[in-house]
Amino acid sequence: MAQLDYELPAELIAQRPVEPRDASRLLVYRRDSATIEHAVFSDLRELLSDELVVVNDSRVVPGRLRLRRASGGAVEVLLLETVAGKGVWEALARPTRRLRAGERLGPVELVESLGDGRWLVRLDGDPAGDVPLPPYIHEPLEDPERYQTVYGREPGSAAAPTAGLHFTTDTLAELEPVRVTLHVGLDTFRPVTSARLEEHVIHGERYEVDADVWERIKGARRVLAVGTTTVRVLETVARSGELCGRTALFVTPGFTFRRVDALLTNFHLPRSTLLALVMAFVGVEEAREIYRVAVDRRYRFYSFGDAMVVL
């Protein structure tokens, strides 16, 4: 597990996005020569050759609901994903200890406790709360659209596919990506606590790929996945042949990639499954060196931070 740890000064955790989106810095790692270069995101088009770019078009649900019990006590409900039944969601509720099934919290009815603060809830209407920012972002977000990608169109995520936050409409037009969908769950932020990496369990996440898009992906000479969520979709479909469903694919060092040839991603939390995926793609020691250089060069980390591309 020590391989997933690294030292990060707190001031390098980005608290706000840069403007414009594509002004973020871009660390470039070339696997064939094991070399590192430094660029900005707007340079991405010139760095690529003939890669087919694939993005995750999921949008973040405004699902952080600040509610009150009949007694007046405050409760926060975070909608995670829809489940069977009209208006039924899996959600986190806190504080959860005194909540009871059948209780009404404004537009939310608590249906069933699932344990560990998770509930089945029934929501009246569409979600109309706040965008749920990650816990390491402490500053309020002036424009909620800055925690959405410019190409997002399928609501369903509890967290943004953050590698895509760097795209502007202009960079999107230059790269002409194809779209897949994976609705991001809160496992994005859940640290690996198992003594052995392979013992960690990932909750499944819903995904979907159009048949014509998959044909393009299958036929491409090289594929650049934008974000770890996109990697998990592509590698799931490459293995199962199923164009929609749920994936609990956990990519760790030693994994054989079947359809991803290049990766664009942000800098991830220590002890995270996302960092494990990056290490699987570039190598454990290579990833640790990349992160050492990024810290030394004062790159910005996490959701609103800078990006890296592995070619």
pTM of the full structure: 0.95
Short-list 213, 170, 258, 279, CA closest to 54? 213
Nearest-5° Cα angle at 190, 115 to 13: 140
| Residue 80 reports pLDDT greater than 70 | yes
- Going by their DSSP bridges, the two strands 262-266 and 223-226 should be labelled as parallel
What does the pLDDT average to over 162-169? 98
The first and second tokens of residue 218, run together, are 């299958």
Burial of 31 (0-12, 13-18, 19+ CB in 10 A): middle
What does the pLDDT look like over 265-287, one tens digit per residue? 999 999 899 999 999 999 999 99
Q: Give the model's pLDDT for residue 191.
A: 72
The first and second tokens of residue 105, run together, are 């919290």
pLDDT level of residue 198 (50, 70, 90 thresholds):
low
- Go through the domains of the chain in sequence order and give each one's CATH number: 2-60+132-310 (3.40.1780.10), 64-123 (2.40.10.240)
Q: Give the model's pLDDT for residue 186.
A: 75
Q: How far apart are CA 83 and CA 150, in angstroms?
A: 27
